Amino acid sequence: MNRLQLCPDFSLRPGAFAQKALLLLLAFAAPGMKAQAHWNILGPAGGDARSFAAVPGHPNHLYLGAINSWIYESTNGGASWRRLAKLDDADDLILDHIVVDRANPSTLFVAAWKLDRTGGGLWVSRDAGRSWSAIEALRGQSVRALAQTPAAHGRRSVRPPAAKSMRLSRWQLIPWTRM
């Protein structure tokens, strides 16, 4: 009967000693090493960031939606932020998606919902976020996503998926047509 016997390799082939010494050094030095990547905080203080959008053609002009009903704005690529608007009196409106209209960057849309209860909706601003109004047909609905479709025949639409089977077209709510 043959027996298998394991023996550590202590041979000194060219480079073997250097490799083993380096591994041993790293094993003892690694716990004290700091991470090489350095992170900088760029967002505003406060609630967690949930959504971002950049103004088309102006990548340093950013909007951020938080989980505490606030929209923030940065005009310097995120180096500094300012509170732009609060969409709900309570602090539990989650601003899940922001769309900046490609044809008119002063028009913004925000899809939102509330945690652990019904509520939310779709908000629109036509003055770059200074004032907001809720789309009444979606008030109280949980709107968690939003997409802008490309312009076709001079018409644009922003669609909240499956929210009461509605869509925005020419910035008005009309019933979806099933295709």
pLDDT in tens, 121-141: 999 999 999 999 998 888 898
Is 42 part of any domain? no
pLDDT for res 120: 93
Is 139 part of any domain? yes
Is 172 part of any domain? no
What would the mean pLDDT of 56-76 be, rounded to a whole number? 95
Task: Decide if 160 contacts 138 (C-beta within 8 A).
Answer: yes
% of residues, the chain, pLDDT over 70: 59
- Indicate whether 55 pLDDT > 90: yes
Q: In DSSP terms, which residues pair with 111 in a beta bridge?
A: 97, 122
- Residues in CB range of 81: below 8 A, 6 or more apart: 43, 44, 64, 72, 73, 74
pLDDT for res 177: 46
Q: Which carries the bigger pLDDT value, residue 16 or residue 38? A: 38
- Indicate whether 157 pLDDT > 60: no
Is 163 part of any domain? no
Is 166 part of any domain? no
pLDDT for res 143: 87
Query: Model pTM?
Result: 0.67
Task: Decide if 167 contacts 157 (C-beta within 8 A).
Answer: yes
CATH assignment at residue 132: 2.120.10.30
Q: Which of 11-15, 87-91, 102-106 has the weakest average pLDDT?
A: 11-15
Domain count, the chain: 1
- Indicate whether 53 pLDDT > 60: yes
d(CA 179, CA 177): 6
Domain housing 124? 49-150
Is 111 part of any domain? yes
Q: Which of 25-29, 146-150, 160-164 has the weakest average pLDDT?
A: 160-164
> Helix, strand, coil % (nearest 5) of the chain?
10, 40, 50
Is 115 part of any domain? yes
- Indicate whether 110 pLDDT > 80: yes
Residue (of 127, 128, 134) closest to 111 by Cα position: 134
Q: Which carries the bigger pLDDT value, residue 122 or residue 159? A: 122
